Amino acid sequence: DAGVIQSPRHEVTEMGQEVTLRCKPISGHNSLFWYRQTMMRGLELLIYFNNNVPIDDSGMPEDRFSAKMPNASFSTLKIQPSEPRDSAVYFCASSELGGANTEAFFGQGTRLTVV
Amino acid sequence: AQKVTQAQTEISVVEKEDVTLDCVYETRDTTYYLFWYKQPPSGELVFLIRRNSFDEQNEISGRYSWNFQKSTSSFNFTITASQVVDSAVYFCALSGKGTGNQFYFGTGTSLTVIP
């Protein structure tokens, strides 16, 4: 299996622009997670899907952030409008049965820079 | 409350020394899972190990070993005969029903192995 695939790997955008990050989870995995990593806050869970349904989005910073999972093989995280404080590495991860008893496998991340 | 504490922010050792990374957790769940991940300078998060709360056997994998002690709520990670390639940030994580099957990560320990 190719693992979790994220695109793009790097994104530089101007403040106010819309940004869309993409994720393809490992085939057969039922759970998908979006994390954000910054020096100040470490790894933060943004949202968690199970069987394509958002289970917990309490980590989404504000209304500018939205995430979708239209099918089992694709998810997007959108920021509109983007702000410099959104600059971070965004990770997508998937696991077979959800976090309780199976590990999560991470993509290589998208490094977002908002100028 | 679910919490993972990695008190060691940064550790430096000379190559071939042994090093132990500490992880202390808090959970109200009777069944829970603990994980270690490695984040090398390239940035990806690599799964190392998963431990169930009902299995306190220590585990060894090559130069890596893990000591799980429920009595002290600790899940420590030891690297024997460290190598330069071990230089990375190491994260401990917790999941369980109380976390909504999510993964809660510690703040990470940055390990530098000096040649």
Please state the three-class secondary structure of chain A as a single string.
CCCCEEECCEEEECCCCCEEEEEECCCCCCEEEEEEEECCCEEEEEEEEECCEEEECCCCCCCCEEEEEEECCEEEEEECCCCHHHCEEEEEEEECCCCCCCCEEECCCEEEEEC
- Is residue A99 pLDDT above 90, yes or no? no
Type of residue found at A101: N
- Range in A18-22, B23-27, B92-96 the model is least confident about: B92-96
Sign of dihedral through CA atoms B73, B75, B81, B83?
negative
Residue A98, chain B, CB below 8 Å: the answer is: yes
Nearest-CA distance B57 → chain A (Å)? 17
Q: For A5-55, what is each residue's pLDDT tens digit?
A: 999 999 999 999 999 999 999 999 999 999 999 998 899 999 999 999 998
Cβ–Cβ gap A45/B47 under 8 Å? no
Cβ–Cβ gap B95/A100 under 8 Å? yes
> Residue A114's pLDDT is what?
98
DSSP B89: E
Chain A residues within an 8 Å CB radius of B108: 42-43
